[in-house]
Amino acid sequence: MNRRPLIAAALLAAALGASSCSTVSRINPFHGKDKPAELAGEGQRISIIPADQRLEPAAALKGVDFALPPVSPIAEWPLPGGTPEQSVGNVDAAPNLSIAWRKSFGQGTKRGRYVTAPPVAAEGKVFLMDADGRVVAVDAASGRELWRTSTNPGDNKRDKLGFGGGVAYADGKIYAASGFRDVMQMDAKTGAVGWRTKTGEPIHGAPTVVNGRLLVVALDNTLLSFNAATGAPSWTYQALSESARILAASSPAVSGDTVVAAFGSGELVALRAENGNDLWNEALSRASRTSALSEIRDIPGRPVIYGGDVFAISHSGVFAATDLRTGEARWSLPVVGVTSPLPAADVVYAVSKDGQVICASRENGQIYWIKNLNEGFKTKKKGGVFGIGGQKMNRPIWSGPLLARDRLLMVGQTGELVALNAKTGETLKRLEIKGASTIAPIAMGDTVYVVTQDADLVAIR
């Protein structure tokens, strides 16, 4: 296979992606003249907001209350999204939102290496991956390093696609995927390698491990399946090829015998977990008259399964709800996003790439409220002399949210954690974490954990 298009895609992703230091300019296609209303046929997605209009709260929902999940403790966070469905409820963590400690766990983002892996937590440990592909286990109470194991089999620092990947925990084992074209199993207590299996392509997303099966998406838009006990390859599914994509990558969601995977082509696909046979396929893509960047159709955030529906957001501007069983379109909103949505009881939350937090009805997509995290932000330049030259600093990317004690927690490239009232969108607190972060927070016990681009783990209680 010709490597040049893939290398070009990775370099483009480095400039555009959710884990880089700069982002593309704000995309705002919601302008223009009104279009005649369209009638939706069976299975056709209904867009709640026409693509050329601005997102706004629904007048009918003004002052209307909605339910949130009950606050409950969480004992572990073993997978990138917390559970096989990539969906976690209202966690009982970080009541005071104060920093308990901060520890470095390795190499931060630098010179073509990126911290992109979400942490996981189990057995009283937090498991992480640094920018050089080293898997690190730390004590969850103190941040003290317990062990580290490299995923780079030959310490190859020249591999331009040898970045990214991630980890998952299951049954006393840590499973890792990496840009160095392999997946591997390690002992969660010692880091000793149990097995290592080569893959044909780099892997920039974290695996999902459930029911004895490891599932992960490779750079060439192939969903790979492995036996978690032995590392033996199983079935594969090939999505459409796409040369340009975002730096961050998705992890599959699993509910019962159904796997839902998102790809750089903008495809959202449901398959049978046993054999990889496809059940339905949907394209979350939309052309924009104002930006060619909508042609990057990637779905870099994880798809989330909740209440019989699948929720996902694409970079080309589709935030969608799809029936898990039938693949029937439910509703969509024109939202450009690079993170995972958060369904919670009556509502679903999403964070757009330009910093808008959107609270919408889970049932029909109507909007309760919108909060702009970048309100008042002014474009700046970094470097240069007397204002000449230098690098343009665009609007920061925000990641999350995590729902903790009825608060939405987001982290961003500003080096802050922001807490919003989950019912109203009111800002409750801004906490300086002293490091840019583009990886959503996780929780275990009474603690929320944040990973920064400098490869610091920040514990918040």
Q: How high is the pLDDT of residue 323? A: 98
Domain borders along the chain are 4-27+46-460
Q: How high is the pLDDT of residue 395? A: 86
Contact 259, 268 (CB under 8 A): no
Contact 250, 269 (CB under 8 A): no
* Among the listed residues 414, 421, 17, 3, the one whose alpha carbon sits nearest the alpha carbon of residue 245: 17
C-alpha distance from residue 153 to each of 84, 174, 191 (Å): 29, 17, 15
Residues in the chain where the model's pLDDT stays below 50: 1-44, 289-292, 384-387
Q: How high is the pLDDT of residue 296? A: 79
Contact 76, 122 (CB under 8 A): yes
Which ranges of 246-377 does DSSP label H, i.e. alpha helix?
Answer: none
Q: Can you list the positions of beta strands (E) in 307-437?
A: 309-313, 319-323, 329-333, 342-344, 347-351, 356-361, 367-372, 380-382, 391-393, 398-404, 407-412, 416-421, 427-432
* Among the listed residues 457, 207, 246, the one whose alpha carbon sits nearest the alpha carbon of residue 353: 246
Q: Are strands 267-272 and 258-262 parallel, antiparallel or unpaired?
A: antiparallel
What DSSP character marks residue 292?
G
Structural tokens at position 32: 């223009």
Q: How high is the pLDDT of residue 393? A: 59
Q: How high is the pLDDT of residue 153? A: 82
Contact 129, 87 (CB under 8 A): no
* Among the listed residues 219, 225, 216, 184, the one whose alpha carbon sits nearest the alpha carbon of residue 201: 219
CATH number of 4-27+46-460: 2.130.10.10
Q: How high is the pLDDT of residue 7? A: 35
